[in-house]
Amino acid sequence: MMLSFAKMHGLGNDFMVVDGVTQPIFLNESQIIKLGDRHRGVGFDQLLLIEPPQQPDLDFQYRIFNADGSEVEQCGNGARCIARFVRNVGLTWKHKIRVGTMKGVLNLQIMRNGLVSVDMGEPRLEPGDIPLRYAQKELFYHVNLDGIDYQFGSVSMGNPHCVLTVDNVDETDVDKIGRQLTEHHLFPEGTNVGFMQKVSDSEIRLRVYERGVGETQACGTGACASAVIGRLQHQMENKIRVYLPGGHLHIDWGGVGETLKMMGPAELVYQGFIEL
């Protein structure tokens, strides 16, 4: 079978985007792993599969698979690429698009300046919603790794996030600490780990170790999580610019009880076909 796809990225966080609306497609775990191989396949951080909507008030459904074949709940950079893709291939001509995910509905909007805005919904802070094995919600949680006590904040942006404040992201062992926390028993479903350096009351530098992937050039939900934790722990402003290795995102969050909006670019790299 020849599969049509697009290669896209959001700030270097790269995706294989597959239209499952006009072409019949079922991908198993081994096929996804093979496609994700950067030497023998397409190569990507995540594969995004667009499907027909499951509810009448939605435009599309979309599923997210990591390069290791695991399916995950949410992807902010991927959501922006979805908005661009469905417009590029003529699946819709709308500028405002509603898509369903494993964890609810996202409202996407293609702006006049070409950026894509995503209403990410309300951040979830209760441990049971993250999920996080802690008895009650705390502003600061603690975990011991190799005899060192780490303080972190945690939030669900439709997927679990653990955010540590560090003095300098360039001098942090993101791979080692990220892997340990991703697999820690405190997080029964694993977690994405953000390493946040506060630059000012409206700016953050961030590196993210993503569950099932490793460190990526950018993580949209990670940027959202860092802004939430920055607001709660460090009294940062409601409009925050988050600088990631691949570029920056704009996050706007009014506080607890409010929905969060993320805005940034989504780029097409190429379109092609591959035989499964």
Q: Which sequence positions are flagged as catalytic?
A: 75, 219
Percent helix / strand / coil, the chain, rounded to 5: 20, 45, 40
Closest by CA position to 220, among listed 15, 5, 7, 6: 15
256 burial (CB, 10 Å; 0-12 / 13-18 / 19+) is exposed
- Residue 131 preceded by cis peptide, ω within 30: yes
CA distance 115 to 124: 26
CA distance 270 to 25: 20
Q: Provide CB contacts within 8 A for 253, sequence distance 6+.
A: 123, 224, 227, 228, 231, 238, 240, 260, 261
Residue at 98: amino acid letter: R
